[in-house]
Structure 1
Amino acid sequence: MELNDLLAYNWGVMMPEFIILGTIALLVLLDLFLSKEFDRKLFGWIAIAALISAGISVLGMLDTPVTSILDDTYRLDSFAKAFKMILLAGSVFVMLLAMNYNPKDGFSEYRGEFFYLFLAALLGGMIMSSSGDLITLFVGLELLSIPSYILAGMRRNSLSSNESAMKYVINGGISTAITLFGLSYVYGLAGSTNLLTIAKTLSTNVDSQHTYLLGIAFFMIFVGISFKLAAAPFHMWAPDVYQGAPTPVTAFLSVVSKAAGFIILVRIMFTIFLLTASDGPGSMPLLLKLQDYIAFLAAATMIIGNVIALRQRNIKRLFAYSSIAHAGYILVAFTSLNYLTFDAIWFYLVAYLFMNMGAFAVIQLMSETTGSEEIKDFAGFYKKAPVLAAAFGILLLSLAGFPGTAGFIGKVNIFMSAFLDKDNPHYVLASIMIATTVVSYVYYFGILTQMFFRPAAESKSIKIPAGIIATVGIAVAASILFGIMPNIALDFLHSNFGGFVDFLE
């Protein structure tokens, strides 16, 4: 490629990625040359400034039409813009948690590495959201995954952290291999790695043998990505990894990494299999024909996540199973496959971002204060920090889907989407969603019971860092605001992203 051709590309559409990449390079150099005594928390402020700058860059491109560069391997469309905003917003909260994370087992020594490894993982998620090609999708996936394995084991002196990193690497490697195997079938049948070219090629598929191979590819890709989402029955890694990883990393895995998983799921499944004929031209798309299998996985994820959470005594393990259950709720919207699907997934991820990040901020503070992550240690929390306990209670109610919170509106959107298809409404799936939501009230209210109705072992007040106050305050405000006035978020979505009609352009 000649220099003039390279310069002819509209590189401005990649400005958010360039900002993050430049910050990673800067932090690596600073960490290399600064003395060990230098407080690496400054890196967090540099990273937050970069995240805000990247977010402003995304907002500045809201009116930019669909733009693709590098032979359509990178595309900026409404889907990419909307989901990059979720990734960037969640990352700001993770940074605030990391700057205020001070465990007793060796995290502070590697705090500098945390910031640029985390930004590298974020960059992978952003690349996935704008990928128009299987190769860039896979590169983004690995750029997200590999730093995540390191981050999970960053507490080097903690056996549980070492165990979580090992389990994450093994399960992540297996899921990547399965996903890549499925993508290789798609490439072999379509003769291209470009997503839109694949969609056009496979939409005219008439060979039944090809359909059979595409069915295998579909299941392998879906299973591989289900590992990333911690969807049942491929969730076995999540509880141990969530428990052993540093709390900011757990928050990252539960929100940012999970959002990135749904990004790649939607990109691949909706682009390729929604247009692929299942039995010759004019027949039902393959994704619709296999809808029942996705519904089964969504139901199993909701049931397993919520039921097993009832038996948990460790707060981070409980939130691991809660995260599994929430992945099941979002899969209900994915199963529905109608015009409300994108809206329901986007809004739920936004609501989940705020309520889960705020909850992990409180969990981090309590685990450092008490030296334990047991739910029983939340007893009498209201006496020690009444305002913080009340805020945590609101976030738990939002996670449970209590009316008046963003979590409730998110569940209502998903519930409504399950009935929009008049020919095939998902009554059973919607019923399971309601039943499992009721089950979730038991363990969420169990935490509330400990905080407000159980006596504390000691009544010593808790010192709350400014970063934790900011995180919890923003999370609670957003959870209430989007619960009472959800149209603020939905109107922003509709006015700026136009129903994602350019997704396949």
Structure 2
Amino acid sequence: MIQTLLDFDLRVLAPELVIVAAAALLTIVDLLLKETVSRKWIGILGLLAVLVAGIFVGLGWGHEPYQILGDSYRIDDFSLAFKAILLFGTALVLLFSLSDKDTEKLEAESEYYSLLLTALLGAMIMVSSAELITLFVGLELLSLSSYILVGIRRKRADSAEAAWKYVVLGSVSSAFILYGMSFLYGLTGTTHLFEIQQHVAEIAGTDYQAFLYLSFFLMIVGFGFKISSAPFHTWAPDVYQGAATPVTIFLAVVSKVAAFAFVVRIVLIAFIPLVTTGVWNEVISWSFMLVAALSMIVGNTVALRQKDTKRLMAYSSIAHAGYMLVPPATMGFVGFDLFPSLVFYLVAYLCMTLGAFVVIEIVARRAGTYDMNAFAGLYQRSPSLALIMTFFLLSLAGLPVTAGFIGKFYILMSAIASTHYWLAAIMIATTVISYYYYFGFARQMYFRKAEDSQKIAVSWPTVAVVGMAVLGTILLGIIPDFFLQAFGQLDWVSGFSQAANSLGY
């Protein structure tokens, strides 16, 4: 029977429909508004759209996995969990953007808010897709929007340079992913991940298995770029430094979360039959473990030499990508139970990284530079900001009784449970190395004299963003069992098995 969109319960697409309608509406509103009217209203409308989409995501919980369009688009616990994270991160970015006084960005302010929504839409498509074409469409919608966002400050040479590097390297990485996908299609004759899964089970152990390896290795190059893991990380420091800070935050947290969902969707559906042949543990897991180890080593060691705070945080992000890769890397050895630890760490990473970037922007805006010296004497100028930044740094460093520590602990346990003690040793060693550059902020804030004694003013939207980041980090740190149990109760396996429900709730 031929099905059309009218045959499906479109309530399951409500979050995406809200975002796409809002993006179109914001563009039209911008055309109708006079040039003298503030574009902050467009940002407020965008924020409201994200909140409404979040409400629809919340209403989606408690139902059986749902599919439309031949199981190419799925609503299950996996997609809903990641959409909630994406919407939460984007809402904080939008709220922070409403307080951003960067006049060079404001000349394209309405386009900025619209592009944030289209990038978010691409990310949401990625986490729900179970088909190579829709996955790639979502990836490119996110990527193209991000390229423009990075270069939206047209009068800034560093932004133009960052955008150019991002476009070139991003296009190359997309080509690698698409080339890898083409091999999967050529081997299986389909772009549907679950049909690919069935054919991969037949191909495993035959002479064509080498082409499966080739497909995976081509895609892992593109995957590495999208999650900014070493050795595919070279774009991140320049892009993070050249982009406006709200854009940097979006790339560091929202885009990275979507990229991880993208990687997990493809690998755990298309290549999962290789577990039974032993190839998973011999090839897939080891590839991820090597990338994870290299990311932790490169990210933490190169960060030691950074003086620009945004570049330093870029290398920190690379290191954290390595930590996040450990659960998928060891999943072939210990099963699906590692999803709660991965999601817990993603949420903790979002809160503490976003909060740290916001404080960096507050201090840098007042000092006129992103150099580490801008934090000199911050405790004398603004004790509350200094204490908040210290809190985020402690969590990023993974010291005990913080969300970062809990997240790293469970990831470390996954490496130990899989008997990969060398990977656990690298995690511990690189975490200790990270103490030096994270505490570099503390040395400036508490042990250096302030050149400017004037107090730092903070707008209420920024206070709200920092407050929510602090609250999230605190709650994850003091009651981690609550969140881990909540994440553990989700039906993660349903995201990687065909859904029976295709016509409605």
Alignment TM-score > 0.5, same fold = yes
| Partner in structure 1 of residue 386 of structure 2 | 389
Report how far residue 5 of structure 1 moved. 3.7
Which amino acid in 1 is paired with 2:121?
Answer: L
Change (3 A) 1:399 1:50: same
What secondary structure, in the 3-state scheme, does the structure 1 residue paired with 2:417 have?
coil
What secondary structure, in the 3-state scheme, does the structure 2 residue paired with 1:388 have?
helix
Q: Pick one of 183, 192, 198 that aligns with 1:185.
A: 183
Report how far residue 458 of structure 1 moved. 1.4
What secondary structure, in the 3-state scheme, does the structure 1 residue paired with 2:491 have?
helix
Mapped contact 1:273–1:287 kept (Cα < 8 A): no
What secondary structure, in the 3-state scheme, does the structure 2 residue paired with 1:457 have?
coil
What secondary structure, in the 3-state scheme, does the structure 1 residue paired with 2:399 have?
coil
| Partner in structure 2 of residue 326 of structure 1 | 320
| Partner in structure 1 of residue 16 of structure 2 | 17
| Partner in structure 2 of residue 225 of structure 1 | 223
| Partner in structure 2 of residue 298 of structure 1 | 292
Alignment partner of 1:62 is 2:61: yes
Distance in 2 (CA, whole Å) between partners of 1:293 and 1:241 is 26
| Partner in structure 2 of residue 476 of structure 1 | 470
| Partner in structure 2 of residue 83 of structure 1 | 82
Which amino acid in 2 is paired with 1:369?
Answer: R
| Partner in structure 2 of residue 74 of structure 1 | 73
Report how far residue 286 of structure 1 moved. 3.5
What secondary structure, in the 3-state scheme, does the structure 2 residue paired with 1:455 have?
coil
Q: Which runs of 4+ in 1 moved over 6 A?
A: none
Report how far residue 12 of structure 1 moved. 1.1
| Partner in structure 2 of residue 433 of structure 1 | 427
Identity across matched positions, percent = 45
Report how far residue 98 of structure 1 moved. 1.3
Report how far residue 390 of structure 1 moved. 0.6
Which amino acid in 1 is paired with 2:65?
Answer: V
What secondary structure, in the 3-state scheme, does the structure 2 residue paired with 1:44 have?
helix
1:285-341: CA deviations, max 9, x gaps?
446533222211111100000000000000000000000000000111221113332
Distance in 2 (CA, whole Å) between partners of 1:186 and 1:276 is 14
Which amino acid in 2 is paired with 1:214?
Answer: L
Alignment partner of 1:406 is 2:410: no
What secondary structure, in the 3-state scheme, does the structure 2 residue paired with 1:372 have?
coil
Distance in 2 (CA, whole Å) between partners of 1:207 and 1:409 is 40
Q: Pick one of 196, 199, 202 that aligns with 1:198.
A: 196
Q: Which runs of 5+ in 2 are unaligned?
A: 499-505
Mapped contact 2:79–2:495 kept (Cα < 8 A): no
Distance in 2 (CA, whole Å) between partners of 1:161 and 1:5 is 44
Which amino acid in 2 is paired with 1:467?
Answer: P
| Partner in structure 2 of residue 369 of structure 1 | 366
Distance in 2 (CA, whole Å) between partners of 1:45 and 1:335 is 40
Change (3 A) 1:288 1:77: farther
| Partner in structure 2 of residue 155 of structure 1 | 153
Change (3 A) 1:213 1:354: same
1:408-443: CA deviations, max 9, x gaps?
11101101111223xxx1100010000000000100
| Partner in structure 1 of residue 33 of structure 2 | 34
Mapped contact 1:77–1:503 kept (Cα < 8 A): no
Which amino acid in 1 is paired with 2:306?
Answer: Q
| Partner in structure 1 of residue 263 of structure 2 | 265
Distance in 2 (CA, whole Å) between partners of 1:444 and 1:375 is 11
Alignment of 1:123-142 (within 5 A): 123-142=121-140
Mapped contact 2:284–2:329 kept (Cα < 8 A): no
Alignment partner of 1:503 is 2:496: yes
Q: Pick one of 237, 241, 260 that aligns with 1:239.
A: 237
| Partner in structure 1 of residue 503 of structure 2 | none
Distance in 1 (CA, whole Å) between partners of 2:386 and 2:42 is 30
Mapped contact 2:127–2:261 kept (Cα < 8 A): yes
Distance in 1 (CA, whole Å) between partners of 2:373 and 2:353 is 20
| Partner in structure 2 of residue 446 of structure 1 | 440
Report how far residue 502 of structure 1 moved. 4.4
| Partner in structure 1 of residue 254 of structure 2 | 256
Higher mean displacement: 115-124 or 357-366: 357-366
Change (3 A) 1:261 1:325: same
Distance in 2 (CA, whole Å) between partners of 1:147 and 1:332 is 29
Mapped contact 2:76–2:494 kept (Cα < 8 A): no
Report how far residue 494 of structure 1 moved. 2.7
Distance in 1 (CA, whole Å) between partners of 2:443 and 2:294 is 28
Alignment partner of 1:359 is 2:356: yes
Change (3 A) 1:288 1:12: farther
Alignment partner of 1:50 is 2:44: no
1:120-178: CA deviations, max 9, x gaps?
00000000000010000000000000010000011111100000000000000000001
| Partner in structure 2 of residue 101 of structure 1 | 100
Distance in 2 (CA, whole Å) between partners of 1:70 and 1:289 is 33
Q: Pick one of 391, 416, 419 that aligns with 1:419.
A: 416
Which amino acid in 2 is paired with 1:127?
Answer: I
1:364-399: CA deviations, max 9, x gaps?
111211110001111011111111211111011111
Which amino acid in 1 is paired with 2:188?
Answer: A
Which amino acid in 2 is paired with 1:432?
Answer: I
Distance in 1 (CA, whole Å) between partners of 2:281 and 2:364 is 44
What secondary structure, in the 3-state scheme, does the structure 1 residue paired with 2:277 have?
coil
1:423-476: CA deviations, max 9, x gaps?
xx1100010000000000100001011011110001100110111111111111
Mapped contact 2:93–2:246 kept (Cα < 8 A): yes
Which amino acid in 2 is paired with 1:393?
Answer: T
Report how far residue 349 of structure 1 moved. 0.6
| Partner in structure 1 of residue 114 of structure 2 | 116
Distance in 2 (CA, whole Å) between partners of 1:6 and 1:53 is 22
1:47-89: CA deviations, max 9, x gaps?
1111111111111111111111011111111110111111000
Distance in 2 (CA, whole Å) between partners of 1:205 and 1:427 is 33
- CA-atom RMSD in angstroms: 1.4
| Partner in structure 1 of residue 453 of structure 2 | 459
Which amino acid in 2 is paired with 1:187?
Answer: Y
Which amino acid in 1 is paired with 2:421?
Answer: Y
Mapped contact 1:359–1:392 kept (Cα < 8 A): yes
Distance in 1 (CA, whole Å) between partners of 2:99 and 2:155 is 19
Q: Which runs of 5+ in 1 are unaligned?
A: none
How many residues are matched?
495
Mapped contact 1:182–1:218 kept (Cα < 8 A): yes
| Partner in structure 1 of residue 274 of structure 2 | 276
Report how far residue 207 of structure 1 moved. 5.7
Report how far residue 491 of structure 1 moved. 2.5
Report how far residue 206 of structure 1 moved. 4.8
Which amino acid in 2 is paired with 1:397?
Answer: L
Mapped contact 1:306–1:436 kept (Cα < 8 A): yes
Mapped contact 1:269–1:287 kept (Cα < 8 A): no
Distance in 2 (CA, whole Å) between partners of 1:148 and 1:302 is 25
